[in-house]
Amino acid sequence: MKTKQMRKIYNFFAAKDFKYQPCAARSFGENLVVCVCNRTYCDNIEPIGDIQKGETIQYLSDQTGKRLVRSKLSPEAKSRGINVFYQGCDFSTREYSYAETPGDFALASFNLTEEDFLYKIPFIVQAQLLSGNKTRFFASPWSAPGWMKTNGRMKGGGRLRGDEDGPYYKAWANYFIRFFGEYHRNGVDFWGMTIQNEPEAGLDPNWGWQAMYFNARMERNFVKNLLGPALKSRSYTKNIKLMINDDQRITLPEWADTVLNDTEAAKYVSGIAIHWYTDKIKPASVLTTTHDRHPNHFILGTEACTGYLPGEHKPLLGNWTRAEEYLTDIIEDLSNWVVGWTDWNLCLDMKGGPNWVGNFVDAPVIVDAAKQEYYKQPMWYAMAHIRYAIYFTAKGGELPKGKK
């Protein structure tokens, strides 16, 4: 798709039959345009689901922050799904867990942190109030506490210590239950969860941030023997949608086959989670193959971003090429049985953070805290275009003739 076509998409939204406030455009160079929002003004075209992290709230003034949250989560924003990483990940400001005491298999020291109480829980509660409890939250872990891992630290690759039916695996299964239980006691329940973020990254002992290794066989056994039964044993976790894989599409269909061909494991699993970072290596048709083999399990895109490649680790304000990448990938996924597509970060700062290891990337919204304003990028409007088309056609409408 060429830049001119992306501009046509933008102009399509600017048609007079839409009741909206127009973009306050600002140029950052040739063909680099964003829409500026601040405490008094913002255009009001809505996007589809992506990730919002608690830390971002601290960048915004009360009025600017409320405007951003409303634009994302008001009842008019018809489709929304938000990933809540529990404990820390690279987009935290530090490396931390909920149970830091070595050997605490009973998890007596388990506690939520200030990140949960100051940012995540208040945001989730606010999001549900704004959306009429229609926002779906799913949780993902990056690593167990360091004392549970073979490398002794959350950062870097490693696996859980000991045998797969031993105390470390049992404690890790109970860790999930404790997390969901603490959030439940604070008024937050989750729609879904993944078992492990990018489990194959845990093979690399020098991985730059939190990671932990599972292969498909290990994940199958963990679900079948420990995690699945534990989730079904609690009222606040028994209906959570459990998703396997949470890694690149190059793992498919083999990963799904290994887990879901075991009926005792499959009965606990609702879906298959995928990331987009190697989509150019393996065609989207593998998603259809996976669906055809496992039609009773949905496929959900759970992470995507631009600016992640070497030499690109930063936002590019107003960049249309990155919007084209989003649009192309979303269309490919949705055309191959994927039921949703999740952006990694709804908003980041001007550097592409916060990120405690400097793994900066781009986002649909970039916040300039010094100026108390934020910039809605072309990526935002690419997602908005898809969201509009899905919602409009689902209501029985037809897209305008000749429009692609």
**Which carries the bigger pLDDT value, residue 90 or residue 86?**
90
Q: Is the pLDDT of residue 285 over 80?
A: yes
142 pLDDT band, cuts 50/70/90, is very high
126 pLDDT band, cuts 50/70/90, is confident
Q: pLDDT tens-digit profile of 168-188?
A: 999 999 999 999 999 999 999
Q: Which positions are catalytic?
A: 198, 303
Residue 255 amino acid letter: W
Q: Sign of torsion, CA 212 214 219 221?
A: negative
Which structure tokens are listed for 199?
């489990």
pLDDT of residue 34: 84
Beta strands per DSSP E along 132-179: 136-141
pLDDT of residue 46: 43
For the chain, which domains are there? Answer: 3-15+26-394 (3.20.20.80)
How far CA 221 is from CA of 213, 218, 273, 311, in Å, comes to: 14, 5, 18, 39
pLDDT of residue 44: 67
Angle of helix 320-334 relative to helix 3-13, nearest 10 degrees, comes to 80
28 pLDDT band, cuts 50/70/90, is confident
3-state secondary structure of 375: strand
Q: pLDDT tens-digit profile of 32-45?
A: 888 888 888 887 65
In 3D space, the residue among 305, 303, 349 whose CA is nearest the CA of residue 326 turns out to be 305
What pTM was computed for the model? 0.85
Residue 78: which residues within 8 A CB-CB, separation 6 or more?
A: 46, 387, 391
314 pLDDT band, cuts 50/70/90, is very high
84 pLDDT band, cuts 50/70/90, is confident
**Which carries the bigger pLDDT value, residue 35 or residue 318?**
318
In 3D space, the residue among 365, 349, 274 whose CA is nearest the CA of residue 51 turns out to be 365
Which structure tokens are listed for 292?
């055809």
Q: pLDDT tens-digit profile of 339-378?
A: 999 999 989 999 999 999 999 999 999 999 999 999 999 9
Q: Sign of torsion, CA 200 137 180 92?
A: positive
Q: Is the pLDDT of residue 54 over 60?
A: no
Supply the mean pLDDT for the chain: 86
Using the CB atoms, write b or e for 96-116: b if 16+ within 10 Å: bbbbeeeeeeebeebebbebb
Angle at 154 between CA 107 and CA 300, to 5 degrees: 90
Strand 33-38 to 373-376 pairing: antiparallel
Complete DSSP assignment for 15-82:
-TTS--PPP-EEESSTT-EEEEEESS---------B---GGGGGGS-HHHHHHHHHHHHSTT----EE
Q: Is the pLDDT of residue 56 over 70?
A: no
Paired strand residues for 298: 271
How far CA 224 is from CA of 45, 227, 230, 262, 295, in Å, comes to: 44, 7, 10, 9, 20
130 pLDDT band, cuts 50/70/90, is confident
How far CA 294 is from CA of 258, 287, 291, 299, 339, in Å, comes to: 11, 10, 5, 10, 14
Q: Is the pLDDT of residue 164 over 70?
A: yes
The share of the chain scoring above pLDDT 90, in percent, equals: 68
Paired strand residues for 274: 247, 301
How far CA 134 is from CA of 58, 74, 75, 128, in Å, comes to: 24, 10, 8, 7
pLDDT of residue 386: 86
Check: CB of residue 220 under 8 Å from CB of residue 213: no
